[in-house]
Every structure is written in structure tokens, then in C-alpha cells.
Amino acid sequence: MNKSVGIASLKDVLEIEASQTLNLPSSTYEMIRLGAAIDPKASALSFFLQVDDHKTPEVWTYQSFLESVNQTANFFAGLGVDKDKVVAYILPNLPETHFVVWGGQAAGIVAAINPLLEPEAIAELLNAAGVSVLVTLSPFPGTDLFEKVSKVLPQVPSIEHLVLVNLCDRVRGLKKLPAKILQASEVYRYYGFSGLKSIVPESIDIHDFGRSITAKNKRKLDFDRVIDPNDYSSFFCTGGTTGTPKIAMRTHRNEVSNAWSASQILGDGVSSDKTMFCGLPLFHVNGVLVTGLVPFSKGAHVVLGTPQGYRGEGVVSRFWEIVERHKINFFSGVPTLYASLLDIPIGTRNISSLEYGLCGAAPMPVEVFSRFQENTGLKILEGYGLTEATCVSSTNPPKGERRLGSIGLRTPGQMMKAVILDDAQEYQRDCRVDEVGVIAISGPNVFSGYKVSEQNKCLWIDTGDGRKWLNSGDLGRQDAEGYFWLTGRKKELIIRGGHNIDPATIEEPLHRHPSVMVAAAVGRPDVRAGELPVAYVQLKPEMSVDSSELLDFASEQISERAAVPKSIHIIDEMPLTGVGKIFKPELKKREIKDAISSSISLVGITIGNVSVEDDKTKGMTVSVSLMNKADEEEVRSILGRFPFSFSIHV
């Protein structure tokens, strides 16, 4: 593969595609093996369990990192894992998580499960994926992951092996023995002399990960699998922290091509002398690919900061200290991280090693973007991607103009365009320059589909050109120079009397208020207008402002009259997904519940509880409990004015 110096314009993207003869590795394992061969003695992975330990992290060279991946793959193969068997992991950010991801993909298929999901959702995902091996944490003081998983095991008959990662293995020095004693006492306290076997179904064999892989061959893979690029490599879940997300099936070709494509963005900027910080969770594609496969394929160094990543105690408050100590060149985050870092003074810290901050998962508020770059001098590369297209589809060019508010240029090797669809989601035509349409993506990075076939409805767009185009569900436009601009996520649009309101129209001005740390706008159901815009705001620490002042500010700043919020709620903490993206469905639920309660109260009826749930097939559903059965008919009439399925209980 030829070298590149990074992307400055769409012309560079086209030149890379025209000039480079791709001879990509056939698998993620082969890609990592080639990266390790660049300098086997170089640092591949550093890890610290707590921020106080960050100056003396555990370090794996590329030789020892690849050896651990080999041992993990050989261990899984010994358990009967092959190209059709699924290894699921429910783990925080640990070195073992990387060994499981890449060793698991060498032997079979890896399924990433969000540890923040509720047991019922985890069980449904494991069953849908057909998992045979499950890797999670052993019981350990201060963690409840095993307790959660133990409730799931009896519900997933396909699981044959339970592999436990012991946090004691990551404790060093004088703290190690006390940690082992604490861990043993934790097991005894909950499960007695019988230990974990007392609650694990007899059909499931229990294995200790650390002890199990130590006995395996570290020099090479002991099994004779030849990985086809079209073999499945991973199942990743899309969605938030509640409900059952969809399972996206991805191939080795998807991951390898997207890692190559993403590396072209920075060109030789990602190399064996660079260091990246990983703070996003390793159950998310950004953490695994951008701060995983991409640097590992280039022989670069990844610093893995605490099991909780950016959520770990002290990670954000001491972030500039970490950057200075480890000479971090790149890190990847979400808008809420950048907003938090704005309040952390750099002081005398030397952060000159930093070259870029990568931002994805949600549109970056323009005000946060501008202030962060002004305060730090650090370039932010805002990009766009989705699990279904592996990870990265577009980004602002590091060597060219970074257009504020844009998600940048498409990355080499994949296609993007805006298209017009009709009400049945059928293709009508490509959009003109700057015309808003649905963002469609095509290329070797686009996944095979969802595991549950019914979820693939309206997923693909047939444009008649022979390509397979993915319907992203996002609205956007492409300007004359090839830059893409998101104009709204289709599912987040606020529709007021037929008028489409982009939440960013409300959020961007609110972010300009000096007291506002983060803002989110959602639609409040209204029987006349359909939806009315409302906003939720989290203030900066030690700042004070009331809702009326914010409403006055919004009225002055928002030029679109229909978008001026009807109310602004100040909350202590914004609900977030596991990757730090604002979880708007939770805010939407609050508004639905309040709107319905208020409508019923207006007619003088006293009710019990109103609950709102997100049903996979019906969308938002409402349940109302009545105090008096005589009120049922009138309440039914009121509920019928809202666009939700509902039930009434006396």
C-alpha cells in the first residue's frame, strides 16, 4: 500500500482512489499482524487501572500484544469456536477486551454487548446472536457486572462456556494480594463455599481467562482457519442504553477496508511513532476501530485509560496531565467530552504533542467547537459514521479547510451522496448541490444487514447504478466542494404543524449562553400542533441561571420563530448513552408523560401513574392507571388525540 500525506480536499480523495492499488489484508488478524511486524519491540498498548497509576502503566509491546491475541484465539478455538460460532463480551475497557476482540475474530465472530443494558435486553441480544461463549468480569468489589450477567445465563441456552476476566490480574505491586483476598471474599459473601458454580447452569463450563490463555501457544495460531474477507468478524449493537438495539453483522472486509479508509484521512500522521488515547468504550465501534484497529494496523501506540474510560474517576479532570505525560497525539471523543474539557484549565501543562481531536457520534455544537479550538489551539476533526457502515464515513480534512458545522469529505474507498426518497422510501433521484436529502452510503465498509431480517426493511436504496446503497436515516446535503452537512437526524426532527424543525436550530444558540454546558431539544406532543419544541439544559459547574432568562435569550438568538422553545428545563445531569451521546428518547419520554398528565388534569380527572415505554415494534407506548373507572371513557378520548399506542388500567 502506498503512503499518503493526508487529505486536504475531495481532489485528494479521488487521487487516492485512482492511484492506489489496494492489496488489503484478508482479515483483522492479518492487519494487526502486519502492524506488529513494523517494530515488534515498540509499545502497542498501555493501560492504567486508576488515574493515580497513569505515570506507571502496564505496557504491552507489539510482540507481547500479538502473543496475547494468539493465545486468546487458540483458547477460543480449543472451546470449539469456528467461523460460525459467536463469542460475546460484556466487559469494560481492559487489555483483555482487546485480546478478546482480535483473538475472537481470528477464531470466530465477536459480539460486543453494552454492559449498561438491563439483563432482559442483554439476554435478548445474546439469544438473537446465538452466542456460544460469553466473556465477562469475575465478581469484584465495587462492580456489579457478574451479578447482572448471572441473571441472564439461565435465559440463554446456547451458551456453553462462561469465561471470566479477573480484575485482580490488573492490580500490581503491594495491592495485588489484598485485591485477591477481597475478590475471594466477595465470591464467598454472595455464593458461599460452592462458589460461582452454585448459580451458573450445569450445562455451562466456567473458565478463568488469565489462567486459560497462559497455557496456550503464543507464537502462532494452532488452528488452520483460512479467513475469507466476507466471513463475519463482528456483531455490534446499534442504539442506546434501553430497549433492544439492532445487531449489525459486519465482515472482515468491512473492518479492514474502513480501517484503511480512516487511516488515509491522516495519512502518515498515524504511524509507529504516534500515540492515541482511548477513552470511548470498547463495546462501541469508535473505540474499537478509531482507537484500536487503525493505530494497531500502523504500529502506533494506544493508551487505554481506566476500565471506565472517560467516565473513570479523574480521567477528564486530569486529562491534560495525561496528555502531557504520555505525549498523546490524537484522541477521539463525543461533543459532551469536549464540552466538559472546556472547564478543565490547561495551566502550565505542555500539550504541544496534540495534533487532532476526533469527534463523532453526534453533531458538535458550533459554539463548543469554536471555543474549544480557541482555548486549546487543538484542531478538531468532526466526522460522521454509523455502525452499519463500520465506523467512519466522512471527516473534515486535516490538511485542508475544516468547515465549521460540516461533517467533512467522504473518506477514500467509499461513496456518499444525498438522495430524494418518496414516502415509501423509494429512490426518486440524486440531490442537487446543497439540496437536502437522505444520506446514502456505499462501499466495502457497508455491513451485510441486521441479524433480525425484519429490521432490514427500507434499509437499502436501489438507485439503479448497480451499487448497494445504505439508507442512513439522516438528512443532509453536499456542497459544491464535496463537504457534507447534516441538517437533521430524521428520527429527531421536531415536526410542528407540518413544519420540520432541526433540534440544532435550538441547541446551537443555547450553547452560546455563558452558563450553558450542554443543551438538547426535543418535541413535546401537542394535540393541535403535533409537536412543540422544548429544550433541556445542563449548566456549567457553579453557574446559575433560571429558565425565564434562558427563554428570553433563546427568543433573541433563534431566528426561526417556530423553533423558539415553549419551555426550557434545567436539569442536574443530561441522560447519556454508554458512549456519551445525549440520550434524547429519555427526554422525549418525560415530555410525553407530562403532556398527557397535563391534558387529563385539565378536565379535572385525577389519575394514578402514567408510564411511557419504547416498544421495539410500536414505538412509544403509554400506560395510564385510573383512580375511578367512570373516567375511563373520557381519558380514552383524550389519549386518542395523541399519536401513541396506549392502555388504561383501573
Which CATH number covers residue 608? 3.30.300.20
Report the pLDDT value the prediction gives residue 186, as an integer from 0 to 100.
Answer: 74
Distances (CA, A) of 514 to 150, 545, 563: 47, 10, 21
Average pLDDT over residues 102-113: 97
Question: Is the pLDDT assigned to residue 407 strictly greater than 60?
Answer: yes
Per the structure, how many domains does the chain have? Answer: 3
509 vs 588: CA distance, rounded Å = 21
CATH number at residue 221: 3.40.50.12780
Which distant-in-sequence residues (6+ apart) come within 8 Å of 118 by Cβ? Answer: 242
pLDDT digits (tens, 9 = 90+) for 527-580: 777 889 999 999 999 899 999 999 999 999 987 788 899 999 999 999 988 778
Whose CA is closest to 206, among 245, 166, 240? 166
CATH number at residue 532: 3.30.300.30
Q: Which backbone phi and psi does 39 adopt, to 5 degrees?
A: -160, 90
Least trusted range by pLDDT, from 290-294, 303-307, 456-460: 456-460
Within this chain, do residues 573 and 591 fall inside the same structural domain, yes or no?
A: no
In a domain, 443, yes or no: no
196 vs 163: CA distance, rounded Å = 12
Burial class (CB in 10 A: 0-12, 13-18, 19+), 30: middle
412 vs 295: CA distance, rounded Å = 18
Within this chain, do residues 68 and 198 fall inside the same structural domain, yes or no?
A: yes
Whose CA is closest to 27, among 112, 103, 95? 103
Highest mean pLDDT among 154-163, 183-192, 378-387: 154-163
Report the pLDDT value the prediction gives residue 242, as an integer from 0 to 100.
Answer: 36
Report the pLDDT value the prediction gives residue 1, as an integer from 0 to 100.
Answer: 38
548 vs 553: CA distance, rounded Å = 9
Question: Is the pLDDT assigned to residue 606 strictly greater than 90?
Answer: no
112 vs 615: CA distance, rounded Å = 22
In a domain, 479, yes or no: no
Q: What angle do CA 181, 184, 187 make, to 5 degrees?
A: 150
Q: Which carries the bigger pLDDT value, residue 586 or residue 362?
A: 586
Within this chain, do residues 88 and 66 fall inside the same structural domain, yes or no?
A: yes
Burial class (CB in 10 A: 0-12, 13-18, 19+), 464: exposed
Which distant-in-sequence residues (6+ apart) come within 8 Å of 588 by Cβ? Answer: 522, 523, 620
372, three cell numbers: 474549544
Which of 582, 599, 623 is at the close of a domain? 582
Which residue carries 443543551 as its cell?
Answer: 519
Report the pLDDT value the prediction gives residue 498, as an integer from 0 to 100.
Answer: 61
Q: What angle do CA 51, 57, 60 make, to 5 degrees?
A: 140
Q: Which backbone phi and psi does 573 adopt, to 5 degrees?
A: -150, 130
Which residue carries 444525498 as its cell?
Answer: 418
In a domain, 307, yes or no: yes
Which distant-in-sequence residues (6+ apart) come within 8 Å of 17 by Cβ? Answer: 412, 413
159, β-bridge pairs: none
The answer to whether 279 and 334 have CB atoms below 8 angstroms apart is: no
Which of 560, 582, 604 is at the close of a domain? 582
In a domain, 453, yes or no: no
Report the pLDDT value the prediction gives residue 96, as an integer from 0 to 100.
Answer: 98
In a domain, 438, yes or no: no
- Please, which pLDDT band fits residue 241 given cuts at 50, 70 and 90? very low
Q: How far is CA 130 from the centre of its chain?
A: 22
107 vs 73: CA distance, rounded Å = 5
Share of the chain above pLDDT 70, in %: 94
Amino acid identity for residue 301 in this structure: H
Within this chain, do residues 630 and 522 fall inside the same structural domain, yes or no?
A: no
Structural domain including 17 reads 10-430
Whose CA is closest to 49, among 183, 150, 179? 179
Whose CA is closest to 265, among 353, 356, 362? 356
Question: Is the pLDDT assigned to residue 271 strictly greater than 90?
Answer: no
Share of the chain above pLDDT 90, in %: 62
Q: Which carries the bigger pLDDT value, residue 189 or residue 65?
A: 65
Whole-structure pTM value = 0.82
Which of 556, 582, 608 is at the close of a domain? 582
Within this chain, do residues 310 and 296 fall inside the same structural domain, yes or no?
A: yes
Whose CA is closest to 418, among 481, 473, 455? 473
428 vs 439: CA distance, rounded Å = 13
- Please, which pLDDT band fits residue 123 given cuts at 50, 70 and 90? very high
Average pLDDT over residues 104-124: 91
Question: Is the pLDDT assigned to residue 124 strictly greater than 80?
Answer: yes
511, three cell numbers: 450553547
Highest mean pLDDT among 99-103, 145-149, 636-640: 99-103
Highest mean pLDDT among 145-159, 242-256, 338-352, 452-466: 145-159
Within this chain, do residues 547 and 406 fall inside the same structural domain, yes or no?
A: no
Whose CA is closest to 263, among 584, 594, 554, 3? 3
Return the DSSP state at 532. Answer: E
Q: Which backbone phi and psi does 529 adopt, to 5 degrees?
A: -95, -5
pLDDT digits (tens, 9 = 90+) for 325-363: 999 999 998 877 888 888 899 999 999 999 989 987 666
The answer to whether 376 and 352 have CB atoms below 8 angstroms apart is: no
245, three cell numbers: 438495539
Q: Which backbone phi and psi does 133 adopt, to 5 degrees?
A: -125, 130
Report the pLDDT value the prediction gives residue 240, as an integer from 0 to 100.
Answer: 40
Which residue carries 467547537 as its cell?
Answer: 369
Within this chain, do residues 68 and 183 fall inside the same structural domain, yes or no?
A: yes
Within this chain, do residues 67 and 108 fall inside the same structural domain, yes or no?
A: yes
72 vs 217: CA distance, rounded Å = 9
In a domain, 477, yes or no: no
Within this chain, do residues 566 and 626 fall inside the same structural domain, yes or no?
A: no
Whose CA is closest to 287, among 272, 307, 268, 315? 307
Which distant-in-sequence residues (6+ apart) come within 8 Å of 87 by Cβ? Answer: 76, 81, 100, 104, 107, 108, 109, 110, 111, 131, 132, 133, 134, 135
Provide long-range contacts, Cβ within 8 A and 24+ apart, for 120-123: 121/242, 121/243, 121/244, 121/245, 122/90, 122/148, 122/149, 122/152, 123/152, 123/155, 123/156
Within this chain, do residues 545 and 630 fall inside the same structural domain, yes or no?
A: no
Report the pLDDT value the prediction gives residue 159, as an integer from 0 to 100.
Answer: 98
Question: Is the pLDDT assigned to residue 446 strictly greater than 60?
Answer: yes
3-state secondary structure at position 338: helix
In a domain, 465, yes or no: no
pLDDT digits (tens, 9 = 90+) for 418-442: 999 987 889 999 999 999 899 999 9
CB atoms within 10 A of CB 97: 23
Within this chain, do residues 204 and 344 fall inside the same structural domain, yes or no?
A: yes
Within this chain, do residues 512 and 645 fall inside the same structural domain, yes or no?
A: no
Question: Is the pLDDT assigned to residue 503 strictly greater than 70?
Answer: yes
In a domain, 163, yes or no: yes
Question: Is the pLDDT assigned to residue 443 strictly greater than 80?
Answer: yes
Which distant-in-sequence residues (6+ apart) come within 8 Å of 465 by Cβ? Answer: none
